[in-house]
Structure 1
Amino acid sequence: MVAMTSAPFASALLAEHDAAATRLRELILDLAVEHGSFTLSSGQQANFYVDMRPLTLHHEASPLVGQLVLQMLDAAGIEFEAIGGLTMGADPVATAVLHTAAAHQRAVDGYVVRKQPKGHGKGRQVEGPSIEGRKVVVVEDTSTTGNSPLSAVEAVRKVGGDIQAVAVIVDRDSGAKERIEAEAGVPYLYVFSKDDLGLE
């Protein structure tokens, strides 16, 4: 089992005025965070809502996501050969990371986990290059309850993927980390905490 870590990644970078982390934080606050009164899918009430799709599919933000997620995984000592997660929140995150890795001559594949196995053909739930017997990371843009990453973990393990960590861009501090580490038995890493973004 991979050693657990709870150290927030971006806090140190922001303290050092890292340009990539500072700019991605600005873009998250501009593109992904809405303030108001919201009921989350978990039924919880919140005075802010984080919709990461406008961020992860943004021309400037996507390369920063790839850079910072890869940098975070490297800093935590996570070795992996493939990255992906439950469609569709994970898809642009994984794609950003594999393109960043390729730019540094690193062979990282992507994979996509369908919400349900395909109803025809080979009936696959996990698409992409085979991850059987390979070290993989499960990603998500953000998680409230941990449901999406845990669904991906279950599907990946069924096809023989060796999960090293679950990684998200934004942690809402709403119990996902604790649940994922308890149920999946792997580290849960995040680039930005709720506090890093100044969200209450």
Structure 2
Amino acid sequence: MNTEEVLSEFRKVDALLEGHFILSSGRRSPVFLQKALVFSHPATSEKLCAALAEKLKAQFGQIDVVCGPAVGGLIPGYETARALGCRAIFTERQDGEMTLRRGFDIKEGERVVVVEDIVTTGLSMRETFTALNKFDGDVIGGACVVDRSNGEAEVGLPLVSLAAVDFPDFDPDDLPAELKDIPAIKPGSRGLK
């Protein structure tokens, strides 16, 4: 799949939104990808994540574990692991820090990738790499359905994306006139309790 095909899947389920949005990074954008709507459709999730799994196999070869950071990486992480035929685990925040819980672990020699829904700044992915590096496995890279940074986010390891986009985003103190007049909404998951 290419970027336009991925965005078409978002449009089919009314998940490519236009307005004034507060991104999880705190930046503002006139475009928001409501991935929760996309991943509420099992057939769409399967299609996108199977395509991502193919790109991961081509880049990294054998993968033993896929880790999806909660909340946004849960479904794409699971679906990508299913397509790869490997184990799926997830990290979650505990006391403000990304951690592996619930009996999950990574064994020595296991090859691990982190799968996210959307990468904007790469913060969740970097935090997940840090959490996973406490275990004996080999964290080899990351992947996302959409790279909103268009290849600019520094995640610390190779990043594979199904789609890369360059939607504008702005500092909240330096908004263009067309956004200043529209009330901002925060539809993302960062900060959920």
The answer to whether the superposition gives a TM-score over 0.5 is yes
Given the superposition, is the C-alpha separation of residues 128 and 100 from structure 1 closer, same or farther in structure 2, using an over 3 Å criterion? farther
Which residue among 101, 116, 126 is the counterpart of 2:94? 116
Name which of 2, 6, 12 aligns with 1:30. 12
* Structure 1: stretches of 5+ with no match in the other structure: 1-8, 15-21, 103-107, 118-123
Tell me the alpha carbon deviations over residues 51-74 of structure 1, each in whole angstroms, 9 at most, x when there is no partner: 211112312211112211111112
Per-residue Cα deviation, 1:120-170 (whole angstroms, up to 9, x for no partner): xxxx73446531321100011002111111111111111233111110000
Q: Shift of the alpha carbon at 1:85?
A: 2.3
Matches within 5 A, 1:149-164: 149-164=125-140
Change (3 A) 1:151 1:28: same
Distance 1:113 1:149 in 2: 10
Name the CA shift for 1:99/1:46 in 2 (closer, same or farther; >3 Å): same
- Quick check: 1:86–1:112 contact (8 Å CA) kept in 2? yes
Where 1:179 maps in the other structure, the secondary structure is coil
Indicate how the Cα distance of structure 1 residues 146 and 162 shifts in structure 2: closer, same or farther if over 3 A, else same.
same
Inter-partner Cα distance in structure 2 for 1:174 and 1:97: 21
Q: 3-state DSSP class of the match of 1:115?
A: strand
After superposition, the Cα gap between the structure-2 partners of 1:97 and 1:45, relative to the gap in structure 1 and judged at 3 Å, is same
> In structure 1, what is the Cα distance between the partners aligned to 2:84 and 2:150?
30
Q: Distance in 1 between matches of 2:127 and 2:74?
A: 14
Say if 1:85 and 1:112, in contact at 8 Å, map to a contact too.
yes
2:126 and 2:104 map into 1 onto residues whose CA distance is 21
2:90 counterpart letter in structure 1: V
Distance 1:128 1:62 in 2: 26
Q: Please state if 1:92 is matched with 2:67.
A: no
Q: 1:172 to 1:53 in 2, by over 3 A?
A: same
Corresponding pairs, count:
163
| Separation of aligned partners in 2, 1:95 and 1:40 | 24
- State the alpha-carbon separation in 1 of the partners of residues 146 and 122 from structure 2: 12
Q: Which runs of 5+ in 2 are unaligned?
A: 169-193
- In the alignment, the residues of structure 2 paired with residue 57 and residue 82 of structure 1 have an alpha-carbon distance, to the nearest angstrom, of 23
Which residue identity lines up with residue 27 of structure 1 in the other structure? E
How much is the aligned-residue C-alpha RMSD, in angstroms? 2.4
Taking every aligned residue pair, what percent have the same amino acid on both sides? Answer: 23
Residues 45-60 of structure 1 correspond to what in structure 2 (within 5 A)? 45-60=28-43
2:106 corresponding residue in structure 1? 131
